[in-house]
């Protein structure tokens, strides 16, 4: 049971990390469009 929770936690962390990376790209794009 704890292994199942652990795997679910890892999956959620990976998803959150992917969302953060996407947000970083979005922020860079917005900053570049403001600087032009």
Which residue has 């403001």 as its token pair? 34
Residue 36 has pLDDT above 90, yes or no: no
Question: Which tops the pLDDT comparison, 25 or 35?
Answer: 25
Check residue 20 and give its pLDDT: 99
How many independent structural domains does the chain possess? Answer: 1
Report H helices in 1-36: 2-35
In the chain, what percentage of residues exceed pLDDT 70? 100
> d(Cα 24, Cα 32) in Å, to the nearest integer?
12
Q: Containing domain of residue 8, as a range? A: 1-36
First to last CA, the chain: 53
For the chain, how long is the longest CA-to-CA vector?
53
Check residue 28 and give its pLDDT: 97
Q: What is the CA 21 to chain-centroid distance, rounded?
A: 5
| Tokens read off for 33 | 């469009």
pTM of the predicted model as reported, rounded to 2 decimal places? 0.69
């Amino acid at each position: 049971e704890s292994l199942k929770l652990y795997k679910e936690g890892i999956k959620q962390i990976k998803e959150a990390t992917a969302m953060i990376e996407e947000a970083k790209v979005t922020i860079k794009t917005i900053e570049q469009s403001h600087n032009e």
